[in-house]
Amino acid sequence: MRYRCPYCRHLFDESPPPACPACGRVMVVPSMKALSERQTRRRAVERIRRECERQKAALQGPVAPGVWHNPRVYLAVIAGLAVLGGAIFRATDRAARRRHAEPPHRRAMRHVDVLAEALGRYRFHVGSFPDAEQGLAALVRDPQVPRWDGPYINQLRRDPWGTPYVYTPTSNGLPVLLSCGADKILGTVDDIRPDPACFDPGTEWTNGWVSAAERLPGVTVLPSRP
C-alpha cells in the first residue's frame, strides 16, 4: 500500500514517516482499523438508503389488498375520522358561541343595516323599493319585476327576539325598516332602526356584482317566514 501526502501530493512507501520529507508537514496516517470502520459505516449508510428507496416505492404504488384485512388499518381510519370530526365540531361550536355571545340589540342593529343596504341595491336595479305586498321577501326571491338581479341577501331571518322585521314603504323618501326590540311592540323606545346612510350603498359594489346565490355556492336561498 502506498501513501500520498495530503498537502504536497508526495508519494511514500508502505511505512511513511510522521512528517513529509518533501514539505515537512505532519501527517496522520489512518490505521487499517479506521479504514475498516469507515467502510462499515459506508455500507450501513448504503443499506439505509436502499431501504428508504424501497419503502418510498411501496408507498407510491397501489395499496395491497391484504392491508384492508388488517384491523389496525380500520382503527387508524376511525381514529382519523374522529379527530377530524372533533376539530369540525369545535370550530362550529366556537362560531356558535361567538354568535350567541353578541348582545341581541347589537345583532339586531347589524341585521337592519344589512337589510337597508340590500334594499338600496334592490332600488338601484329595479328603480324603487319593494311595495308593501312584496315586502322584504323581494330581497330573497324574484317578485317578477323588471331588472331584478337578486337575491340580495342569503336568507330573511327574524330578529333576535323571534319577531319579523317591520318593513313599510312610503310614498316619498326612505321606507320604514325596524326591529320591534326586546318588548316585541311596534312604536316603543326600544325599536331598532338602521342607519339611514345604509339605504344608499353607492355604486362601487356594482363592479363585478353577483347575486347572493352565486356569492355563496351551495347555499339554498330560503323563502321568508310568514
Residues in the chain: 226
d(C-alpha 138, C-alpha 147), whole Å: 13
Which 3 state secondary structure label does DSSP give 77?
helix
In the block, residue with C-alpha cell 348582545: 103
pLDDT of residue 57: 74
In the block, residue with C-alpha cell 439505509: 48
DSSP 8-state symbol, 31 = P
Q: What is the full per-residue pLDDT of the chain (226 aa) written as tens digits?
A: 677 787 788 787 666 677 777 887 876 666 656 667 778 888 888 888 888 888 777 666 665 566 566 677 678 888 888 888 888 888 777 766 666 678 999 999 999 999 999 999 999 999 999 999 999 999 999 999 999 988 899 889 999 999 999 999 998 889 999 999 999 999 999 999 999 999 998 888 888 777 666 665 444 444 444 4
d(C-alpha 200, C-alpha 196), whole Å: 8
Residues 6+ apart with CB under 8 A from 2: 11, 12, 13, 14
pLDDT of residue 186: 94
**With contact defined as beta carbons under 8 Å apart, do 139 and 133 qualify?**
no
Q: Domain map of the chain by residue range?
A: 70-101, 104-215
pLDDT of residue 221: 43
Helical segments of 31-70, H only: 32-60
Question: If one looks up domain 104-215 in CATH, what number appears?
Answer: 3.30.700.10
**With contact defined as beta carbons under 8 Å apart, do 162 and 224 qualify?**
no
pLDDT of residue 183: 94
pLDDT of residue 191: 96
